[in-house]
Chain A
Amino acid sequence: MSLATKHALPTSLQANPLLGSWIQFGENNTLRVMSGKVEIGQGIQASLKKIATLQLGLDPGQLDFIAGDTQICPDEWYTAGSQSIEVGGHSLAFACQHFRHFFETAAAQALSCKVSDLVLAGGSFSFHDKSISYFDLEKSVDYKQFKLDEAWTGDSFSLKGETASVEGFAREDLQEKIGGTGFIQDLVLPNMLHARILRGPHAHAITDDWQLEKLKALSGVEQVFVSGQFVALLGVNESAIVNAYEKAQTWITWRIKNPLPPEQEIENLLLSLPAVTSEPIIEGAAKEGSISHKARYSRPYIAHASISPSCALAMPTDDQSITVWSHTQGPHKLRDQLALALKMSSENIRVIHVSGPGCYGHNGADDVAFDAAFLAHQLRRPVRVQWMRSDEMAAGPVGAASLVELDASLDDSGAIVRWDASVWSHTHIARPGWGQGINLLGAWSTAQPVPQPEPVDMFLPAGGGLRNIKPYYDLPSLHVKHHFISQSPVRVSALRSLGAYANTFAIESFMDELAQLSGQDPIEFRLKHQNDQRAREVIEKAAKMANWNTYRQELAAAQDGRGLGIGFGRYKNKSAYCAVVIEVEVAEAVRVNKVWMAVDAGEIVHFDALLNQVEGGIIQALSWSLKEAVHWNESGSTSVSWDDYPILNFDEIPAVEIELIDRPGEPGLGSGELAAGPIGAALANAVTHALQIRPRHLPFTSDRLSKMIMDAD
């Protein structure tokens, strides 16, 4: 087990080494704990608050938690990549431990006892009948300049502290949001103008046909702001501005400067676009066995499709400064990008994070923040910009399509002796602050436009398009080729799990194909190549939950369109383990009857928060895999509303059984993205079990399956 292994200094502590950047004294006998990991609908604050409260020995009411305010909080990069517990939580816990250590040392001195004699509860250190609190000691302890990076030993520690059994820590934000308010959409600034930006069906749609006089004459429009192709309608009455926006869209004819590649099967599309092939990754020595097999798999472009399009507010605070309210994943990165785009100093921009609709990656949140900041800066007036549904769907980024080719060979014993993988895909990350240039939509279209930066993908080990391309199995050889495609028909960036969705879907589908070709049970075949005990345990647990052997045979014998399939993955090959068995029933469409999932995300910090993330990950990945694909034509995206981008509905939700394996003392691992790839694969494997037809191209719509059945006949 990894208890003895050393862990690298978390990036958050590298960037914010001083203890005073994480904890300070707040008002009214509270400790103010500061984080750069923000609430994006995943409920992270409950877990971070639990960590801080327990590590510091406070009552929950003594904690003043604040996240994502660039003027106050540490810069923790983005709230992304399932890093909020792994990096954010561990950094915060480490800071809290040192803070506590400073004060317990001072308390022991004050109470004339040993540190080990002290009992800490409710922020107060007691020895027999004497006690002294953090707040009593505030002036006598000098902790702020303590360097956490130098104190890091790399040893594992519990995230929960000594009072780990404490229950509770329900999400405080939900008390406000359920039945109430609390979203960025609900903020109102004094003397604020509502704005809508006129945009077409593509991030690069332009027009020569604004008819500005007509725009100005629209009812409720107090101002038409024009800077190049950036045109905004503004007024105090939001409803009137929305009407004006809808009317204007009826006469504007949009076009795209560079023609888009026509929509076609993802495999054909990606193979037809120019690609740069990088030096292959070669590990071990390949052999040729008695059975060889090759197959191609693909995923389409997938929309974030949050329930609300993005929103932001901005306000000039003096001649030189502005404050921006945003549901961005990276407040500090956004601040620095806004400074570049607006030619201001970062010090003169404050970004304050406020909850928005569910965020699953780089959506329009940063773009709309630019829109609001640019308008507020130019007009010297508070502005609220709410994107319309079509803006988010057509001009916001979507997750990139991928094509994955796998080619392997098995020896006579049915063991894998060669494994080759090739991936054709775009960048899976184009966040503002990633790479060079300015990644903010509006900044590409003003009168002094900046170019859209050249796409640069994330390299392994984390990987973008290559994330999880190395199978998490014991293989004697591996060969990976990456064909990087810059040009995409729609704008692409980070979506939950990046390339791991396609790669894990492909690998785990292919494992089933290899098992079938060599006459082995899919689970036995996986275990045969698996020496990581924790991986074996989730696979065995999921199999047991589903009563795999017996139930699979029963379903096969029944021949009634039902099937059972498995999928496994370890996210990024270094994070949480997940194994899932899915039962499908295929008639006109694929219906998922039941999902059994076993998850090992290390030490469980907050049971319900983890469960919530896993449940949501399952349902969203089922939705992607069964239904979702962004479509386009020569003018841009044609997936601009819920009518043309359906997602899973309430009557399509399966029964779900989840087992969370707790590993006290092991590092807590992120859970937001673990389900995506295994779900896609288990679904494909279950469909194959039901129909004896192998779907290799996502999503598994009834049209696609019907065509496969007809072609097979």
Chain B
Amino acid sequence: MSEIISFELNGVSQNQNLDPNAKLLYTIRNECDSKEVRFGCGAGNCGACTVLIDGLPEQSCTVPNWSVANKKVTTAAGLKEDAIGKVVLQAFMQEQAAQCGYCINGILMSVTALLKTHPKPSQDQINNSLNRHLCRCGTHLRIIRAINHAIQTLSKS
């Protein structure tokens, strides 16, 4: 039933004995003990569990373990080591862009992925990247301010 699956998590190689069909969300949280990836709906609807897989945002609650074999997985805890992720993190802190903060780690991943490919995104591009994410506290205005803050910082560097 289980097999060794190798992947990289925030730059550290993982060789875990896993159920290949179990969802990556639980593997990261429990087997890898990286709790910054959040369970929200379990159905890929809310974006709280978003991680980057080879640089692309994916909702880890719908991703089976087998599909990340030999791939690079990045979580919000890995952003500190990323040139763009670091700027995004700082911008969210400076704008205090959270209320409960539960949705934020997922949003950080999509924003980082967006700014890597589109350093000066249009409003539509920002909306497209955020439309897989829900925020219930209504922190959207701050989140948008933080994204613009990050874009400005990156354009200066």
Chain A residues in the interface with B (C-beta under 8 A): 40-43, 170-171, 173-175, 177-183, 185-186, 188, 219, 237-240, 242-243, 305-308, 355-360, 386, 388-389, 608, 612-613, 615-620, 623, 641-643, 647-651, 653, 656
Question: What chain B residues lie within 8 Å of A40 (beta carbons)?
Answer: 100
User: Chain B 125-145 against A: per-residue CB contact (8 Å), 1 yes, 0 no?
Assistant: 011001101111111111110
Interface residues of B in 9-55 (CB under 8 A from A): 19, 22-23, 26-27, 29-30, 33, 35-36, 38-43, 45-46, 48
Q: Knowing A307-B135, A642-B43, say if A653 contacts B144 (CB, 8 Å).
A: yes
Question: What chain A residues lie within 8 Å of B104 (beta carbons)?
Answer: 177-179
User: Chain B 72-87 against A: per-residue CB contact (8 Å), 1 yes, 0 no?
Assistant: 0000110110000000
Q: Knowing A358-B99, A641-B45, A651-B127, say if A386 contacts B136 (CB, 8 Å).
A: no
B151 at the binding interface (Cβ < 8 Å): no
Q: Knowing A175-B93, A178-B104, say if A238 contacts B134 (CB, 8 Å).
A: no
Question: What chain A residues lie within 8 Å of B46 (beta carbons)?
Answer: 307, 642
A178 touches B101 (CB 8 A): yes
Pairs A–B under 8 Å by Cβ, sample size 28 = A43-B96, A171-B98, A174-B101, A178-B93, A178-B98, A179-B76, A179-B77, A179-B104, A180-B105, A239-B19, A239-B22, A240-B22, A306-B102, A307-B136, A357-B102, A386-B39, A389-B40, A612-B142, A617-B138, A618-B138, A619-B139, A620-B137, A623-B138, A642-B43, A648-B140, A650-B130, A650-B131, A650-B144
Question: What chain B residues lie within 8 Å of A237 (beta carbons)?
Answer: 30
Interface size on B, residues (CB 8 A): 54
Q: How far is the CB of B76 from chain A (nearest CB, A)?
A: 5
B79 touches A179 (CB 8 A): yes
| Complexed CA–CA distance, A360 and B104 (Å) | 18
Question: What chain A residues lie within 8 Å of B126 (beta carbons)?
Answer: 650
Residue of A nearest to B18 (CB): A239
A615 touches B142 (CB 8 A): yes
The 7 closest A-B pairs by CB, nearest first: A41-B100, A619-B138, A358-B100, A239-B26, A616-B138, A186-B35, A177-B101
Q: How far is the CB of A628 from chain B (nearest CB, A)?
A: 11
Q: Knowing A185-B38, A620-B136, say if A307 contacts B22 (CB, 8 Å).
A: no
Instruction: A178-B104, A358-B102 given; name 10 further pairs at CB < 8 Å.
Output: A173-B101, A178-B89, A178-B97, A240-B19, A240-B22, A358-B99, A620-B137, A641-B43, A651-B127, A651-B130
| Complexed CA–CA distance, A617 and B108 (Å) | 23
Q: Knowing A238-B26, A238-B30, A240-B22, say if A389 contacts B76 (CB, 8 Å).
A: no
B96 touches A612 (CB 8 A): yes
Residue of A nearest to B42 (CB): A389
Residue of A nearest to B129 (CB): A650
Question: What chain A residues lie within 8 Å of B101 (beta carbons)?
Answer: 41, 173-174, 177-178, 182
Question: What chain A residues lie within 8 Å of B136 (beta carbons)?
Answer: 305-307, 357-358, 360, 620, 647
Question: What chain A residues lie within 8 Å of B143 (beta carbons)?
Answer: 650
Question: What chain A residues lie within 8 Å of B135 (beta carbons)?
Answer: 307
Chain B residues in the interface with A (C-beta under 8 A): 1, 19, 22-23, 26-27, 29-30, 33, 35-36, 38-43, 45-46, 48, 76-77, 79-80, 89, 92-93, 96-105, 108, 126-127, 130-131, 133-144
A179 touches B36 (CB 8 A): yes
Residue of A nearest to B21 (CB): A243
B102 touches A388 (CB 8 A): no
| Complexed CA–CA distance, A305 and B22 (Å) | 26
B93 touches A651 (CB 8 A): no
Q: Which of B23, B79, B101 has the most CB of A within 10 A?
A: B101
Question: What chain A residues lie within 8 Å of B77 (beta carbons)?
Answer: 179-180
Residue of A nearest to B138 (CB): A619
Q: Knowing A41-B100, A174-B93, A181-B35, say if A619 contacts B80 (CB, 8 Å).
A: no
Question: What chain B residues lie within 8 Å of A42 (beta carbons)?
Answer: 99
Question: What chain A residues lie within 8 Å of B48 (beta carbons)?
Answer: 307-308
Question: What chain B residues lie within 8 Å of A360 (beta carbons)?
Answer: 136
A181 touches B134 (CB 8 A): no
Which of B40, B43, B45, B98 sits near A174, CB closer than 8 Å?
Answer: B98
Q: How far is the CB of B108 from chain A (nearest CB, A)?
A: 6
B92 touches A616 (CB 8 A): no
Question: What chain B residues lie within 8 Å of A41 (beta carbons)?
Answer: 99-102, 137
A179 touches B108 (CB 8 A): yes
Question: What chain A residues lie within 8 Å of B133 (beta carbons)?
Answer: 650
Which of A180, A181, A308, A656 sits near B40, CB closer than 8 Å?
Answer: A308
Residue of A nearest to B128 (CB): A651
Q: Knowing A179-B105, A185-B35, say if A642 contacts B45 (CB, 8 Å).
A: yes
